[in-house]
Amino acid sequence: MQKMLVAQVALLVLIAVGFGELVFEFSVYEELTSDFGVYDDIHDAIVSTLCLSCIKLDPVSRLDFVFETANGEDHPEFVLENLTKGPLFIEYRSDVCKACDDMAPIIKDIFKLSFEKEETLYELVNYNGSDVHFYHINLDHASKIQWDSWPIYDKDHIKGVPMFVVITVKYNRGIIEPCYTAAYGTLGLDTDEERRNLITDMIDDGIGLHEDNHAGYKYP
């Protein structure tokens, strides 16, 4: 009985210390940090993000370009600035995501780029003779500005990754304004060829709209 009690108390103390270390990231040498360590990581990576593989579904891709941002926030500065030179293609992903891993080779092949999945990358790419701003944003390693851009372009309010966004400019009631479209997961398509075709269609539409309208676009 006594031995069991000692074992139970020892285990509870061990668990409490381990839990405190994981959540508060404290040690005897450091002060308490302001965030909640793994608590925030679990909240952001699992609870707040729709896990497309957990629901065994892919969102249907509708490639219409819209003006209103998904969460009502303004377009980020890096988007508005780059739109003067060409449309943007942004790939959002996370470290652990099978659909992201499935789509990554297709995206790399389209843009003729090579990068690691943990990397956050920006390149001005020559795509069939047109300039396209390519962003690869891994949400697990992204800066705050990059992370905050994810819900802005989550057109169908999916909150899932991978998400592919094309941002360009278009005529809207008298003025030329930024507009965007988004596709998710493995795009609801079965083969790599179909997926590749849909992504290239998105990019071609973005380039076409930019070529037609960029002369009237004014960077605010």
Partner 1 sequence: MNLRFKRLISQVIFFLSTNLGFRLEGVFPGLKTGFCYPFFYCHACPAATSACPLRSIEIGVYRGNFNWKFILYPILIIGFVGVISGRAVCGWACPIGLLQRATGKVAIKLKKKYPFVKKLGQYRIEPYLRYIKYVAFIGLVVVTPILIGFMFTDICPIGYLVGTIPISILNPGEFTPNEFFYIAMGVFILFLILIFTVERGWCRYFCPIGAMLAPFNKISILHVSVDKEECVHCNICSNEACPMGIDVPNMERDPECILCGKCIEACPRNVIKFERT
What are the residues binding partner 1 (CB under 8 A)? Answer: 1, 4-5, 7-8, 11-12, 15-16, 18-19, 22, 36-48, 50-60, 95-96, 98-99, 101, 156, 185-186, 188
Which of helix, strand or coil describes residue 26?
Answer: coil
Among candidate residues 195, 178, 183, the one with its CA nearest the CA of residue 64 = 183
Minimum distance of partner 1 from residue 70's CB (angstroms): 14
Nearer Cβ to partner 1, position 49 or 213? 49
Minimum distance of partner 1 from residue 13's CB (angstroms): 10
Minimum distance of partner 1 from residue 19's CB (angstroms): 5
Backbone angles phi, psi at 82, to 5 degrees: -70, -25
Minimum distance of partner 1 from residue 155's CB (angstroms): 12
Nearer Cβ to partner 1, position 18 or 216? 18
Nearer Cβ to partner 1, position 23 or 80? 23
C-beta of residue 111 within 8 angstroms of C-beta of residue 125: yes
C-beta of residue 212 within 8 angstroms of C-beta of residue 87: no
Report CA torsion sign: 137, 142, 145, 147.
positive
Nearer Cβ to partner 1, position 39 or 171? 39
Among candidate residues 140, 156, 146, 148, the one with its CA nearest the CA of residue 188 = 156
